Amino acid sequence: MKNLLFLSFLILASCSKKNEYNLSANSDIPDGEMVYLVQYKENVPVLKDSINVLGGNFSFSDSIVVPEMYYLFFKNIRGNVPVVLEPGNIEMTVYKDSLRSTIIKGTKSNDDFKQYIEESSSFINELNSIQNEINYNIAINDSLIKLDLEEQFIEMRKKLTDYEYDFMSNKNDSYVSALILQRMVFERSIDYDIADSILVNFDKSLFKTSPFIAVRGIIDNYKLSNTEAPRIGSYAPKFSGPGLNGEVISLYSIKSKYILIDFWASWCAPCRVENPGLAELQSKYSDEDFTILGVSLDMNMESWKRAIEVDKIESWIHISNLKYFNDPIAKLYDLSKEGIPSSFLINPERKIIARNIKGEDLEFVLNAELKYNE
């Protein structure tokens, strides 16, 4: 009996050690400073643990079954360090003046994450550079260069997407691949059928990870949904939602004759490219004739408000439930097939008369409608 009890103890101890992570770090952060281990649950930060730096070192350890993304925050230091916690020993070197230079090694997911960051950074840096040039040329009203830059942006975005497809294909057992696919699905930058084909090729070791479960749920709901998007000629579905100051705004309370319901988000690059042009178009009309109702699929209030200010679209009417694609308005208008940016132009009868038109096409329709209904 004693031998059996001892054997059971060894098995339990072995399982416990197998499912344990040990994160040890050395840094140039002063002794006594606090380090916080945070996980985000539905975009809400949850404090998991905290510890003081001692002798330039700190550590965390606990049991864990599948990889999960966590973030290290430091008192009195701006920014954070993402780290994947998973069974094994994780070693870090943290630099207080450059958290982005933090070195993380020791487990597969963190090695994969490092590879992804290093290999994708050139695409992302170039995209940011092009976006800055677009914003500048919008400011100086140089439309020809802006159009050329937009084409460059789309081409560079495709290169990044192709790289990410290759990464997920070559590393179908990587937690980082599941994170990439989750981001694509949340942003609606990938067709659901393509996402499903990638998902089914993932290794079974990923099946219990949170990004895999999230994507599986979204795709399954998409497959079960028989809802059709509102069509041209149909009445625009009624909705209401919170504005920038928490006030409730209703579609049918807006008095403008023509309303463009524009679905967008601060994280949606194509949306951000379109916003200034839409704002310029709106300025040509009175509020009585035309307005834009922006429905944002952001999750963060600060990001939403900052994008409104940067894109100079304060004149729009703004609504957001801050729920990504779980937004009830997005579901009502069934954006699952097309994603964003997506727009619906409605007339005084509140019928949909056009979808996803912009620029000169939108202006032509508005002028024709307003002249016809004088």
Cα angle 115, 117, 122; round to 5: 110
**Cα–Cα distance measured from residue 89 to residue 60, given in angstroms and rounded to the nearest whole number:** 10
Environment class of 252 (CB within 10 Å of its CB; exposed 0-12, middle 13-18, buried 19+): exposed
Per-residue pLDDT tens digits for 88-122: 999 999 999 999 999 999 999 999 999 999 999 99
Mean pLDDT, range 183-203, rounded to an integer: 87
Q: How confident is the model at residue 19 (pLDDT cuts 50, 70, 90)?
A: confident
pLDDT at 289 over 50: yes
The confidence score (pLDDT) of residue 180 equals 96
| Residue 74, helix vs strand vs coil | strand
Phi then psi for 276, rounded to 5 degrees?
Answer: -60, -35
Which pLDDT band, with edges at 50, 70 and 90, does 17 fall under?
low
Q: Is the pLDDT of residue 9 over 60?
A: no
pTM exceeds 0.85 for this model: no
Which whole number is the average pLDDT over 61-88? 94
Region 23-38: mean pLDDT is 94
Per-residue confidence (pLDDT) for residue 11, from 0 to 100: 43
Average pLDDT over residues 279-306: 93
End-to-end, the C-alpha distance of the chain in Å comes to 95
- Integer Cα distance of 263 and 245 in angstroms: 19
Identify which of 232, 258, 262 has the alpha carbon closest to the alpha carbon of residue 330.
262
Q: Span 203-225, mean pLDDT? A: 85
pLDDT for 124 beyond 80: yes
DSSP string, 309-362: HHTT-TTSEEE--S-GGG-HHHHHTTTTTT-SSEEEEE-TT-BEEEES--HHHH
Region of 294 on the Ramachandran plot (φ > 0 left; ψ -120 to 50 alpha; else beta)? beta
Over 70: is that where the pLDDT of 13 sits? no
Range 114-131 average pLDDT: 91
Confidence of residue 374 (pLDDT cuts 50, 70, 90): low
* pLDDT at 205 exceeding the cut of 90: yes
Residue 226 DSSP code: -
Per-residue model confidence (pLDDT) at position 15:
44
More confident residue, 107 or 190: 107
Structure confidence at residue 38 (pLDDT): 95
| Residue among 248, 239, 270, 242 nearest 333 (CA) | 239
Measured distance CA(361)–CA(290) in Å, rounded: 15
pLDDT of residue 320: 94
Residue 7 has a pLDDT of 43
* Other CB atoms within 10 Å distance of the CB of residue 9: 10
- pLDDT of 183 higher than 60: yes
Q: What is the pLDDT of residue 6?
A: 41
Sign of CA dihedral 353, 358, 364, 370: positive
Average pLDDT over the chain, rounded to an integer: 87
Check residue 1 and give its pLDDT. 45
Instruction: Please give the pLDDT value at position 14.
Output: 43
Q: Does residue 229 surpass a pLDDT of 70?
A: no
Identify the CA nearest to 307 among candidates 285, 333, 336, 274: 274
* Segment 155-177 mean pLDDT: 94
Q: In what order do the strands lie in the sheet with 342-346?
A: 317-319, 290-296, 258-264, 342-346, 352-355
Give residue 8's pLDDT: 43
Percent of the chain with pLDDT over 90: 61
3-state helix, strand, coil in the chain (%, to 5): 45, 25, 30
